[in-house]
Amino acid sequence: MNTSAEQVHQQILAAQAAYEQARDVEPVIRASWLEAVASALAGAADELVGLGRRETNLDEGRLRFELHRSVFQLQLFSSEIIAGEHLGAVIDHADPQWGMGPRPDIRRMNIPLGVVGVFGASNFPFAFSVMGGDSASALASGCAVVHKIHEGHLQLALRTSAVVQEALAEAGAPHGLFSTVVGRQAAEALVDHPLTQAIGFTGSTSGGRALFDRASQRETPIPFYGELGSINPVFVTEEAWDSRRNAILSGYASSFTAGMGQFCTKPGLFFAPVQDAEDVGALLAQELQSVAVAPLLSPKLREGFDASLKNVRSLPGVEVLVQGDEAEAPRPTVLATTADAVMAAPEILEQEMFGPATLVIQYRPGTNLAQLASLLEGQLTATVHGEPDEDLHELMTVLRERAGRLVWNAWPTGVSVTYAQQHGGPYPATTASSTTSVGTAAIGRFMRPVAYDSFAPQQLPPALLDNNPWKITRRVDGIHEPAGQKAENL
């Protein structure tokens, strides 16, 4: 079943050829390919969700929503590239009065990088897998994709891939624009290949760092967009705790157990002014009773979860607040420690438990939350439950510097695909904190700018022509012009 290095080489050559054939197509054509893939995936929903049910222990509602999300993502990216947002077109007309001396005519646009390698994640068989965010954004940018399948849902991935390839072919996209490989040797061959121009990855910190190092140490280094580990702290202020403790605990219980705690945005740390640990434990236990449990995604993942839970439970100062169990479908566990213990040994904040477990950190009234927060590593998200008029500037500033998304009086699980979305964050949350793997800004990761200096109109690409034939959004002589209208002045 594993793809040989030679086969990977052949697929990359085919991907490069397809990229070269497709790199200059008009955005509306490329958008029609994304739409075709979206329709095909939606049309195959019953079959794909059925395969997912067999391989992943995820329930039908979750799988259907995740597939719907992936379909929507393709449609949103389609509209985004029709508007030309990804091209980042900028036109500076020649200006003899320019402040540093006469300015030639300079125009810039983004071009796709070429062949991109994408690694599927175990925990989202649709949204971060074969046609998940990385693949969709790479295709939207104009790149070709070679996707490394996550073997946790191999049959689903193979079938999804077939649906995607068939839809692309029917829509007229060149053969080879999207293909999949299997196995560790194939993964390494993909990162090493001279034609591979970038990698999108979602997975573990250790595996991701090893591949990041590999990509950085190539003769020609390539960008490695890796989403690694995150523990997603939640801070509850004293005021919020006093005014709505029960509602917050209820939301917490349901967020950390969503998807059996196997979300990269799972709230794994919960800082609260708990004074009545027994009460809180009882309340959480009650909330958790109604949580439906299922086996974890894979035996390997389960093994890792058990080990990390055991490790955190054994740390000095850590107690069990809600006892889970070790059944095949494990009941959730809530551990607890104190802010004092954390100040004494901050590494307790760096232990990710990927599964249904979380750690409550009890802080005493008057504790400086910003100081506690400053002990945190880089995170995908940081959440604050507080009252609107509290002065939380210091805490927010510390969290802002440690996370890619701040959440206010809500929960970090559930990441909408939008224009403003940011799913990223400082290392070790990701290896490229200035980029996002969710939302329309994800497309730009797989492009780079090229300037056209002093060009004759006959030699310019359409995106940079004065009359704007593609009607895309551009910045002209410093002023932003919206998409959808041709320039009037020419």
Active site residues: 227, 264
DSSP-derived letter for residue 430 is: B
Question: Of residues 300, 400, 467, 469, which one binds a copy of itself by CB under 8 A?
Answer: 400
- Within 142-201, which residues bind a copy of itself (CB under 8 A)? none
DSSP-derived letter for residue 105 is: P
Question: Of residues 416, 467, 469, 485, which one binds a copy of itself by CB under 8 A?
Answer: 416
Residue with Cβ nearer a copy of itself (182 or 396): 396
CB of 332 to a copy of itself, least distance (A): 24
CB of 305 to a copy of itself, least distance (A): 25
CA 166 to chain centre: 26
Whole-angstrom Cα distance, residue 257 to residue 231? Answer: 14
Whole-angstrom Cα distance, residue 381 to residue 412? Answer: 7
Tokens of 105: 């005519």
Tell me the CA distances in angstroms from 473 to 73, 268, 298, 348, one per residue in order: 20, 41, 45, 48
DSSP-derived letter for residue 36 is: H
Tokens of 199: 């990698």
User: Is 259 among the residues that bind a copy of itself (CB under 8 A)?
Assistant: no
Count the helix, strand and coil residues of the chain and give each as a percent rounded to the nearest 5: 45, 20, 40
- Within 47-106, which residues bind a copy of itself (CB under 8 A)? 65, 68-69, 72-73, 75-76, 90-92, 98-101, 103-104, 106
User: Is 308 among the residues that bind a copy of itself (CB under 8 A)?
Assistant: no
CA 373 to chain centre: 23
Question: Of residues 54, 300, 448, 486, which one binds a copy of itself by CB under 8 A?
Answer: 448
Question: Of residues 118, 263, 404, 413, which one binds a copy of itself by CB under 8 A?
Answer: 404
Whole-angstrom Cα distance, residue 164 to residue 259? Answer: 26
Q: Total residues at the site for a copy of itself (CB under 8 A)?
A: 86
Please, what is the Cα angle at 76 between 75 and 82, to 5 degrees?
90
- Is-contact 283 252, C-beta < 8 A? no
Tokens of 431: 């290896």
User: Is 107 among the residues that bind a copy of itself (CB under 8 A)?
Assistant: yes
User: Is 489 among the residues that bind a copy of itself (CB under 8 A)?
Assistant: no
User: Is 433 among the residues that bind a copy of itself (CB under 8 A)?
Assistant: yes
- Within 208-247, which residues bind a copy of itself (CB under 8 A)? 212-213, 216-217, 220-221, 223
Question: Of residues 28, 307, 343, 450, which one binds a copy of itself by CB under 8 A?
Answer: 450
DSSP-derived letter for residue 420 is: S
Question: Of residues 455, 462, 466, 487, which one binds a copy of itself by CB under 8 A?
Answer: 455
Residue with Cβ nearer a copy of itself (355 or 424): 424
Whole-angstrom Cα distance, residue 49 to residue 9? Answer: 32
Whole-angstrom Cα distance, residue 240 to residue 273? Answer: 10
CB of 414 to a copy of itself, least distance (A): 8
- Stretch of 289-297, 308-316, 356-364, 433-441 lying at the interface with a copy of itself (CB under 8 A): 433-441
* Sign, CA torsion 154/159/160/165: positive
Question: Of residues 7, 25, 409, 466, which one binds a copy of itself by CB under 8 A?
Answer: 409
- Within 18-47, which residues bind a copy of itself (CB under 8 A)? 23-24
**CA within 13 Å, CB half, 443:** 30
Residue with Cβ nearer a copy of itself (321 or 429): 429
Question: Of residues 22, 157, 447, 463, which one binds a copy of itself by CB under 8 A?
Answer: 447
Residue with Cβ nearer a copy of itself (60 or 65): 65
Whole-angstrom Cα distance, residue 403 to residue 230? Answer: 9
CB of 389 to a copy of itself, least distance (A): 6
User: Is 459 among the residues that bind a copy of itself (CB under 8 A)?
Assistant: yes
Residue with Cβ nearer a copy of itself (7 or 21): 21
Q: What is the C-alpha end-to-end distance of the chain, expressed in Å?
A: 58
Whole-angstrom Cα distance, residue 259 to residue 123? Answer: 9
Question: Of residues 156, 396, 442, 465, which one binds a copy of itself by CB under 8 A?
Answer: 396
Closest by Cα among 125, 13, 111 to 66: 125
CB of 157 to a copy of itself, least distance (A): 22
CB of 119 to a copy of itself, least distance (A): 18
Residue with tokens 């799972």: 266
Question: Of residues 314, 434, 489, 490, which one binds a copy of itself by CB under 8 A?
Answer: 434
- Within 339-378, which residues bind a copy of itself (CB under 8 A)? 378
What contacts 291, CB < 8 A, 6 or more positions away? 253, 254, 257, 332
CB of 321 to a copy of itself, least distance (A): 27
CB of 136 to a copy of itself, least distance (A): 13
Q: In terms of DSSP H, where are the helices of 224-295?
A: 238-257, 277-289
CB of 98 to a copy of itself, least distance (A): 7
